[in-house]
Amino acid sequence: MSHAMSRAEREEFLAALHVGVIAVTVDDRPLAVPIWYDYTPGGDVWIITAPTSIKGRALDASGRYSLCAQTEQPPYEYVTVEGPITEVQESTPDVRSMAHRYLGPELGDAYVEATSTESGDNRVYRMTPQRWYTVDYSKDFAG
């Protein structure tokens, strides 16, 4: 039995709320860090980080990244996407929507206010998925 997800399944899974882990190369070494992300089926994956951070410098230097999202409870599922960074832009309008996605409106607004001085130079890094890797072990339990 194949554990691979269909296109619709993988896009729906990636669009759901998960903390992602991005992987990017820093000075010929791999870096993997948890990160909030957003995705709409058929679109780009996007993340927010400061261009001066280790992540940001690595993203700017490599021009691409991969992101893995997974379930934490069995039966396990995951989607990994990899591709080029297709756009880098100011994050000001997107910070609030990302905070609301992960924390809800009230806590999201509080988070934005509490971090406004340190997140002013953040950028949105949009990646167009070129490769998809998926596993859905729940298919073993489908009746």
Tell me: the pLDDT tens digits for 26-78? 888 999 999 999 999 999 999 999 999 999 999 999 999 999 999 999 999 99
Is position 17 within any domain?
A: yes
pLDDT tens, position by position, 88-123: 998 777 889 999 999 999 999 999 999 887 766 899
Number of domains in the chain: 1
Task: Please tell me what DSSP assigns to residue 120.
Answer: T
Is position 20 within any domain?
A: yes
Is position 143 within any domain?
A: no
CATH number of the domain to which 57 belongs: 2.30.110.10
Is position 123 within any domain?
A: yes
Domain that includes residue 98, residue range: 7-133
| Other Cβ atoms within 10 Å of 66 Cβ, number | 21
Residue 139 has what pLDDT? 74
Name the β-bridge partners of 33.
22
* Among candidate residues 105, 21, 128, the one with its CA nearest the CA of residue 69: 21
Is position 29 within any domain?
A: yes
Is position 1 within any domain?
A: no
Is position 25 within any domain?
A: yes
**Cβ atoms 24, 85 nearer than 8 A:** no
Is position 117 within any domain?
A: yes
